[in-house]
Amino acid sequence: MGTQAQAVLEERNSACIARQPILTQDETVVGYELFFRQSQEEQRFTSDADGATSVMIDALSVLGFDVLCDGRLAFINCNRQVLLKDELTLLPPGEVVVEIQETVPPDECVVAACQQLKQAGYALALDNFGPGDKREPLVPYADFIKVDVKQVAPDNAAGLVARYASKQCRMLAQKVETRQQQVTAAKNGFTHFQGYFFRHPERLRARQIPANQASNLRLLQAVSKQELDFAEIEDLIKHEPSLCYRLLRYLNSPLLGMSTPVQSVRHAFNLLGERELARWIRMATTLVMGQEKSSDLILASLVRARFCELIAPKVKHGESDLFLMGILSLMDAILEVPIGVVIENLSLNPETSAQLVGGKTGGKTTLSPIYDLMMAREAGDWEAVAKRGKELGLSIIFVNKTYNEAMHWARQITSAIRPQPSPGTSRIVTSP
């Protein structure tokens, strides 16, 4: 491969794409809005640059929709110029929702483009829709109408729902960052929600771990010790059927390519070894704990863990286990228990404990630059990514490439040891 071709491939693999989940009221993830930037030199977060569509299509062809959207819908912003191009048709219909921005005029060319996209099987969304919106002529083609609940008053938002909601058109509340905002939007009739409200639990009154999660946390405790007790770990796994099942399913998946079937916990231990065993139990336990929660919580925790693990050789982190820090960073949301209660019985490095407890409220530790980089890359805050990366001696190209690798790995893991979305969960049937 020539130098120029290698450079192009490197650029694609280090694509700057972030995502934000879109959920139903029961917190089922139906899709992700994708945000991207056009070049490695840009330091800002964008989703609508005219030239970015080609970059995005190239990146999607390398990373794949399954990796970026976990097999669910991809919501992609477009302005008038992009809408009138043929490039959107290079993306797979049935997997894409074309978001029409508020700056797009509903002229004859735009209406014709919407008709053609609908006939081709693409879903459409009207982004940042508000009272008196000039795009009302496009409503008959819309599968989603997105309303910014920070900008539109609750009474006006309820009025929009009453006027436009239908079996074909779903009303989506965006910029939902708190549980109260989600509750209010649901009362106003919204059926879909976009934001990170579910990652920030506000009702953390319980002061103890739920009984059905205690054995899982005992497992985490067992594999956090400096010296592992295989007999103890084996006994805990055998008493947790769901975890035992996931272990055997993982080991027998194509991901590992074992030549002979693995049929027992003891056999699995012998194959994995101590380090990989501890690592796997952390992953599988997270999956088990979150099996009734939003799939994005689990996916995000695995992406965080793997990202931290991949950058660990290049940053100073003392004796802290960065993989475990990433896994545990969303455990309060998964268990709906304060993070201090979650980790009080785990044998964690003091810096890891301090970061997990204090870092969520802005406290600073020696691990804060790593934690902050992880959070900034997840949110697509490119300015913060560049700043934190510079502090750690990491280029933005390396950070993005590593994060994309983490997303790919997390998708492989969850595909191997969790049920996939049921048919229809992540597809929208459109009508021309």
What pLDDT digit, counting tens, does each position of 109-139 carry?
Answer: 999 999 999 999 999 999 999 999 999 999 9
Scan for tokens 């009734």, then name that residue: 292
Q: Which residue has the higher pLDDT, 16 or 401?
A: 401
Q: Do domains 3-199 and 211-394 have the same CATH topology?
A: no
Write out pLDDT tens, residues 219-260: 888 887 778 888 888 888 877 777 777 777 777 777 666 667
CA torsion sign, 77 to 80 to 81 to 86? Answer: positive
Alpha helices by DSSP H, 313-367:
322-328, 331-335, 339-343, 350-358
Given this model, what pLDDT does residue 118 score? 95
Whether residue 1 has pLDDT greater than 60: no
Does 424 have pLDDT greater than 60? no
Mean pLDDT score of the chain: 83
> CATH number of 211-394: 3.50.50.60, 1.10.3210.10, 3.40.50.300, 3.40.50.1220?
1.10.3210.10
Kindly state the percentage of the chain with pLDDT values over 70.
84
Q: How confident is the model at residue 417 (pLDDT cuts 50, 70, 90)?
A: low
* Element counts in the chain: helices (H) and strands (E): 20, 8
Average pLDDT over residues 79-107: 90
pLDDT-based confidence at residue 391 (cuts at 50, 70, 90) = very high
Angle between helical axes of 274-289 and 295-311 (0-180°, round to 10): 150
pLDDT band at 10 (very low <50, low <70, confident <90, very high): low
Angle (deg, nearest 10), helices 265-272 and 241-251 = 50
Which candidate, 199, 406, 193, 216, places its Cα nearest to that of 296?
A: 199
Contact 248, 262 (CB under 8 A): yes
Q: Global pTM?
A: 0.84
Tens digits of per-residue pLDDT, 259-269? 677 777 777 77
Window from 88-102, 128-142, 180-194 with minimum mean pLDDT: 88-102
More confident residue, 155 or 278: 155
Query: Cβ distance 228 to 277 under 8 Å?
Result: yes
CATH superfamily entry for domain 3-199: EAL domain (3.20.20.450)
CA distance linking residue 349 with residue 35, whole number of Å: 35
Task: Pick the more confident residue, 418 or 274.
Answer: 274
As beta bridge partners, residue 76 has: 34, 98
pLDDT at 217: 81
CB 304 within 8 A of CB 329: yes
